[in-house]
């Protein structure tokens, strides 16, 4: 439950970061907020649905077991693959690309951050092969999503550090 809810910590950054970087309107911020919400909803299947299906599966009744197994596959495909991994990550890719584009106009240090954020984008897109494989088994899986997430998290931390030092420098003037 806590892991699912931890995605909501991204909401303030998703909303405020584009505005701090000079985005006009809130469309980019909406992509980040929607990403966090979709990924939270998808992850909530684990504490909310899976225990019920597991209980039915261990009941020993063959019909209950078959229904539980089918329910698990359906919820995993719809909530996990469709909602969380595809829509949640796609909106995160759009948000990241937009933030990286905004960063480009903020000097040399920001340009380095732009390139680091942009470097995660092809990894996310290649990682969608895993999702496609669930529908089309002949599609090769390219396991880049975990790498994309780890690099993205480092990028986000460096971005926060850059913002903090930038804001501190402006505050002391």
* 56-107 pLDDT per residue, tens: 999 989 999 999 999 999 999 999 999 999 999 999 999 999 999 999 989 8
Residue among 79, 101, 103, 76 nearest 163 (CA): 103
Write down the mean pLDDT value for the chain: 93
Cβ(151)–Cβ(120) below 8 Å:
yes
Largest CA distance in the chain: 72
pLDDT at 173 over 80: no
pTM of the model: 0.91
């Amino acid at each position: 439950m806590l892991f699912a809810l931890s995605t909501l910590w991204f909401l303030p950054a998703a909303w405020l970061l584009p505005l701090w970087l000079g985005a006009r309107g809130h469309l980019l911020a909406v992509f980040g907020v929607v990403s966090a919400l979709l990924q939270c909803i998808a992850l909530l299947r684990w504490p909310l649905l899976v225990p019920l299906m597991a209980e039915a599966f261990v009941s020993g009744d063959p019909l209950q077991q078959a229904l539980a197994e089918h329910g698990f596959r359906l919820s995993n495909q719809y909530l996990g693959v469709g909602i969380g991994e595809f829509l949640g990550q796609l909106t995160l890719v759009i948000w990241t690309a937009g933030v990286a584009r905004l960063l480009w106009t903020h000097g040399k240090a920001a340009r380095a951050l732009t390139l680091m954020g942009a470097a995660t984008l092809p990894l996310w897109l290649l990682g969608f092969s895993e999702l496609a494989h669930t529908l089309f088994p002949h599609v090769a899986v390219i396991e880049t999503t975990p790498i994309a997430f780890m690099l993205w998290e480092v990028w986000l931390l460096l971005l926060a550090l850059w913002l903090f030092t930038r804001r501190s420098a402006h505050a002391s003037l």
